[in-house]
Structure 1
């Protein structure tokens, strides 16, 4: 007998409730759980406070972030400087390879080759060794056994002569059938003669070209010498004209300077004459008043005779005065004695 049991779901955190359905093995829906709708409890605010320093966004520059790739995403990544090959070493290796190729090419050209066969014939590889042997791709095999006697000296090794294999075949070749010297040597002679004539013509052309170059060089040297002489003559003439021009210019400057100096002297003389015309009488009068212009006799009388005469008169007066004083003293003493 099947039974269905329904029970209330356990309470959810936060005071919410839900519904739960449990079934027995006969229930086709299985286990299911459904909770009642509820608002999301967000931990952050619905808006940002511009005055809150903790919520201010810190500006960051992604150019300093190591996770950001720098450069073009389309270009191939540049190799480190240490992994790049040395261009000097690469050029040296390329030069060595080029020289080796040129050396091999020159050796291949110097190697003597077999001349091409005449029309109607072809070359065939043959054996030119002293002993002929049959050539085959299959290596011959054989079993052999031997037993040497004891205490026997080894015989000297005989000269090795390869065993002849194959069949000896002979054929008759008549004169001119295999090789015609006159016919075969004709192309070689044509090549040799042609090369010789071509080389001779090239040498003749080179000599003519060298002679023409020498004539052209001699003509050029003569024309250049003539041009150099003409240039030298023109330079000398130009130098003479320049020197003559400078000399005449210097002479003209000297003449103008002398004329200017003469004009300045004449003007200075005229100015001095006009200035000294009234100055000289006043100067002479002033000098005469100050005693700079005097009569020699009068000056000698004033400076020498008059002082001497004054001194002599003063001496005479002093003597007269002394004599009078002595006479007066004698008279007073005489009168005093007479009065006594």
Structure 2
């Protein structure tokens, strides 16, 4: 249901009511966009189901409470004010004990006819009683169930069953024989075990002696091997030192023989190549002659420059005289 929302106005003493003018329901169109275009400009439409002031849920179980009566509320307020004023008047007219003088204080006291002691302790009394001693319980008689059935007996003569001496003798012989045989086997087994233990102890002693001898021989061999390695190392060091000494001696002798012929030839070659020359001559060749050559070259360059300048001057003068002569004698 759609309707036009009216402006809401509510007075403090009125409940909310909703009303709308009756109007015909427009036909429902097929398409939503056409309905929107037709409803444009007709006002604001709303659904009361989306209004916050509408109660949701089932309304059958709700009790509609009547609005408060202003007259009753005013009457209750006036009655409350009168009760407060009455209580205040009673408090004012009630007689009170005057205040105590300076240095004194009020104390509660009993004004009854019979005085009694007032205390916070509770009175209590101990009371006891004696009970009779318990008697010993009598012995419970043995329970014997009632007999049921019938007693029956039979008679057996001595020769009807068997003769114990005759019948038990083979069994005893077998048992005694088996026991003796088992005893002999156990004795033989013990003797064999004793012999085996004796042989095992002898073998163990022999084995221990052999192991001790083996350890002694291994230790002796180890010491010999260590001594042999030590001797070999020492001999190897001695041989290396002897070899090194021999090589040094041979190298020294070879160097002496080689240098004996090498030094004169080296000195001769160096002298031939000019490494051993006169100091004055070497100074002249390395210091004076280069300076002299440089000075001569500088003087020659200056002379050449002067000659060039002189030639240029002569040429310029000649050209000027020729031009002057041509001007004077054009023919």
| Higher RCO (CA-CA < 8 Å; seq separation 6+) | 2
Q: Could you tell me the TM-score, scaled by structure 2's length?
A: 0.38
- Bigger helix share: 2
Q: Specify the structure having the higher radius of gyration (Cα).
A: 2
